[in-house]
Amino acid sequence: MHSSIIKKTLLFISSALVLASCNGWVIQPLPQPTPFLPPTRTPSIYSPTPVVIGMTNASVTPVAIRPTATITPTFFPTNTNMPLPTFTEVPVNTFTPTSEVSAPALRIVILGCNTSIDITHGMGEVTNAYVTLKNIGNVELTNLIATLYALDEGREHPDKIQEITSIPIGYEVTLKLTVDSTYRAESPIQVEVSSTQGLFPREGSASCRDIGLFAPKPDGLSTPVPSNP
């Protein structure tokens, strides 16, 4: 009697264990309300935009359609919004002469020539040229050297060069210059004058005319005198 009761009890416990093992829990939890959970946002999926290749009707060549670049216009300043230029007056210097500029000037005048025989210096025929030097500038001329040249000149004559200490402004001086020349031949001549103030242009004559009776007096030579108008 007791053994049969024990068997029934064991059988009942075994059946309870088998039924409990169906959901994995030995002790079933009590049913409880489901806790509130906020909705979950679907994550965004980013994928590169594929290049669409279209087909043309004329041929089977694929045409790639690419995105068109967007050009942003650039605005340049116009006359309405540009600042007006400003002008600054530049002073103009005016020149006021404070003194007269020094300008040495000399006029060479060949009065004429004559010929003679120079026995003193052992020469034959020589040509004598009478020359007047006029200071027509605004500066006194100093340390003048006058030289006579002839185209057919032979030996150098001692009187071909004459020196004058000075010629004041508005004065003139007459000189006699001599060169060794060819007998009875017309001699083209030139006169050159230099001074402390510089070298002056030469004056010449293709054929020095005979001065004759108009030759200056010997005592009036090499002496500065007021110029004739």
List the domain boundaries for the chain: 106-226
Separation CA 79–CA 60 (nearest Å)? 55
The CATH number of 106-226, from 3.40.50.300, 3.40.50.450, 2.60.40.10, 3.60.20.30, is 2.60.40.10
Instruction: Say whether pTM exceeds 0.85.
Output: no
pLDDT at 183: 84
- Contact (CB, 8 A) for 150 and 113: no
Report whether pLDDT(83) > 70.
no
Question: Which amino acid type is present at position 75?
Answer: F
Min mean pLDDT across 157-161, 214-218, 222-226 is at 214-218
pLDDT > 70: percent of the chain: 56
More confident residue, 65 or 4: 4
Separation CA 72–CA 193 (nearest Å)? 84
Min mean pLDDT across 72-81, 102-111, 125-134, 191-200 is at 72-81
Write the CA distances from 115 to 151, 159, 160, 215, integer angstroms: 15, 14, 14, 12
The 3-state secondary structure of the chain reads CHHHHHHHHHHHHHHHHHHHCCCCCCCCCCCCCCCCCCCCCCCCCCCCCCCCEEECCCCCCEEECCCCCCCCCCCCCCCCCCCCCCCCCCCCCCCCCCCCCCCCCEEEEEEEEEEEECCCCCCCEEEEEEEEEEECCCCCEEEEEEEEEECCCCCCCHHHEEEEEEECCCEEEEEEEEEECCCCCCCCEEEEEEECCEECCCEEECCCCECHHHCCCHHHCCCCEECCC
> Whose CA is closest to 170, among 210, 199, 134, 209?
134
Q: How confident is the model at residue 226 (pLDDT cuts 50, 70, 90)?
A: very high
pLDDT in tens, 5-56: 666 666 666 655 555 455 444 444 445 443 444 555 655 555 555 554 444 4
pLDDT at 88: 57
pLDDT in tens, 87-132: 555 555 554 555 567 899 999 999 999 988 998 888 889 999 999 9
Report whether pLDDT(86) > 80.
no
pLDDT at 66: 56
CA 132 to chain centre: 50
pLDDT at 36: 42
